[in-house]
Amino acid sequence: AGPCDIYSSGGTPCVAAHSTTRALYSAYTGSLYQVKRGSDGATTIIAPVSAGGVANAATQDSFCAGTTCLITIIYDQSGRGNHLTQAPPGGFKGPESNGYDNLASATGAPVTLNGKKAYGVFISPGTGYRNNAASGIAKGDAAEGMYAVLDGTHYNSGCCFDYGNAETSSTDTGNGHMEAIYFGTNTVWGSGSGSGPWVMADLENGLFSGSNSKNNAGDPSVSYRFLTALIKGGPNKWAIRGANAASGSLSTYYNGARPSVSGYNPMSKEGAIILGIGGDNSVGAQGTFYEGVMTSGYPSDATENSVQADIVAAKYAVGSQTSGPALTVGSSVSLRATTSGFNTRYIAHSGSTVNTQEVSSSSSTALKQQASWTVRAGLANSACVSFESKDTAGSYLRHYDFTLQLNSNDGSKQFREDATFCPQAGLNGQGNSLQSWSYPTRYFRHYSNVVHAASNGGVHTFDATSSFNDDVSWVVGASFA
């Protein structure tokens, strides 16, 4: 049985079931998600390999070979048509044209389930999915439950990495108008013990960790690589539960009455569904989503415990983050452009500016050093890499406003994430494409000889689709200095 079969048996059926990694009903053979590729804008659907099985990642890999892909639709497996698509502007605008949010890269969150490759939904700040016309989701004070499997190591303090029930208008309509799982280190409203990240409930105008509207020490910091996060709520009762999604059982972090602050008892839920954003389309947060469901009715702890056992049996594990020629940590490299007419130019720096320059064996020693980089283990994820300047020790290539800069490592989480890149097989068939770990739709790209973290089509001039594959493909060679 899958998670939604278990919820059905418990009398609290799924009314939304979303996953890019697997079927959530044992008999489900339908669509899991849709991807759209950059080369020609064509779309395809990814389904389970077999009834109740893992997503057919091979379909995605062949469809997206030699180009980029975005996740355009996350289908609802419950039969209610509660699909998630690109979130529209609301109280806040997203970064895409017309204020829409960004779509997630299809390759940002590789995993395996029982040894079989699949991809999760890697939400960078600015990315969000929504359904403002969902059917069957709890409204008013009606009871519901929900869980999500997340990456407990991918989070930030922005508002708000959520999955669950929100406003149908994409605007803040007041206390109690949401009931969603939140995960991260935001402390504007509530918090738990330690320094986070925490699983909390976003009930609108507040992230709640228990009965107190601020700190509740019973809500622990949790950072399992695979995290089961669970919220449920009904008339004057709600609970937060969590677990390692790869082993063990659920713990209850809170179980009790609604917050005493006015507006949350009774609740005024509206029944839209959000992923990766706040109720008012706040887009500052990041996180990774693998699967999640929402139920009708308040699930029993026993039902949820069985769901957790099913998640553990799915055997989530880390997938390979890299492809193409290997970059050896500790080696010194040069990075040569491959676009015709530019393929004698190398990534170099002039102070903090990162550009491409003509470099050869007869160049000055200074220029040779400016175009030489030491490969380091990725500062935010050791499965990927960072590039330290040969002539400015302690300074690394990082993106800032999606343009590369050479900056000294200030030790912050932001810096480490901005400076981590995952080498992929070059999109034009040559060398490597260097995919940003924190914004996996973005790659090292030269544009007017300046290097950016560019997406294939986007609002910046440097996101131009023309010659994208060539501009993001680099031959990694021995360093000049």
Residue 465 near residue 348 (C-beta atoms within 8 A)? no
Query: Which residue stretch of 239-247, 252-260, 346-354, 400-408 sits at the interface with ligand AHR (rule: CB under 6 A)?
Result: 400-408
Which amino acid does the sequence have at 8?
S
Question: Could you say whether residue 311 binds ligand AHR (CB under 6 A)?
Answer: no
Which amino acid does the sequence have at 138?
A
Question: Could you say whether residue 101 binds ligand AHR (CB under 6 A)?
Answer: no
Question: Could you say whether residue 271 binds ligand AHR (CB under 6 A)?
Answer: no
Q: Nearest-CA neighbor of 339 among 435, 422, 430, 424?
A: 430
Q: Nearest-CA neighbor of 237 among 299, 161, 305, 162?
A: 299
Backbone angles phi, psi at 97, to 5 degrees: -60, 150
Q: Pick from 282, 322, 430, 473: which binds ligand AHR (CB under 6 A)? A: 282
> Where in 2-21 is the site for ligand AHR (CB under 6 A)?
none
Q: Pick from 205, 216, 363, 428: which binds ligand AHR (CB under 6 A)? A: 205
Residue indicated by tokens 């469809």:
63
Q: What separation in angstroms does the CA of 296 have from each of 138, 226, 417? A: 7, 25, 38
Residue 204 is a catalytic residue? yes
Closest contact distance (angstroms) between CB of 264 and ligand AHR is: 11
Q: Give the active site residue among 162, 219, 280, 471.
A: 280
Q: Pick from 279, 297, 324, 426: which binds ligand AHR (CB under 6 A)? A: 279
Q: Which is nearer to ligand AHR, 286 or 303 (CB)?
A: 286
Nearest 10 degrees: Cα torsion 262, 264, 266, 268: 120
Which regions of 351-394 does DSSP assign to beta strands (E)? 353-358, 373-377, 385-389
> Where in 402-461 is the site for ligand AHR (CB under 6 A)?
402, 414, 418, 453
Residue 121: half-sphere exposure toward Cβ, Cα within 13 Å: 36
Q: What mask of x and - would describe binding to ligand AHR in positions 380 to 399, judged by CB under 6 A?
A: -------------------x
Residue 219 is a catalytic residue? no
Helix H or strand E segment including 414: helix 413-418
Query: Which residue stretch of 36-44, 99-107, 204-212, 324-332 sits at the interface with ligand AHR (rule: CB under 6 A)?
Result: 204-212
Q: Which is nearer to ligand AHR, 76 or 202 (CB)?
A: 202
At residue 146, the 3 state secondary structure works out as strand
- The CB-nearest residue to ligand AHR is 278
At residue 352, the 3 state secondary structure works out as coil
- Determine the length of the chain: 481
Q: Which is nearer to ligand AHR, 170 or 303 (CB)?
A: 170
Q: Pick from 16, 49, 160, 314: which binds ligand AHR (CB under 6 A)? A: 160
Query: Which residue stretch of 200-208, 333-341, 366-374, 378-386 sits at the interface with ligand AHR (rule: CB under 6 A)?
Result: 200-208
Distance separating alpha carbons of residues 428 and 107, to the nearest angstrom = 17
Q: Nearest-CA neighbor of 243 among 150, 111, 314, 143?
A: 150
Q: Which is nearer to ligand AHR, 34 or 455 (CB)?
A: 455
Closest contact distance (angstroms) between CB of 207 and ligand AHR is: 6
Q: What separation in angstroms does the CA of 120 have from each of 108, 215, 313, 470? A: 7, 31, 17, 27
Q: Which is nearer to ligand AHR, 159 or 384 (CB)?
A: 159
Closest contact distance (angstroms) between CB of 172 and ligand AHR is: 5
Q: Across-strand partners of 149?
A: 228, 291
Distance separating alpha carbons of residues 146 and 161, to the nearest angstrom = 15
Closest contact distance (angstroms) between CB of 281 and ligand AHR is: 8
Question: Could you say whether residue 463 binds ligand AHR (CB under 6 A)?
Answer: no
Give the total of residues touching ligand AHR (CB under 6 A): 19
Retrieve residue 306's tokens.
């069985």
Question: Could you say whether residue 207 binds ligand AHR (CB under 6 A)?
Answer: yes
Question: Could you say whether residue 96 binds ligand AHR (CB under 6 A)?
Answer: no
Retrieve residue 365's tokens.
């020693």
As annotated, the active-site residues are 204, 280
Residues that bind ligand AHR (CB under 6 A): 159-160, 172, 202, 204-207, 278-280, 282, 399-402, 414, 418, 453
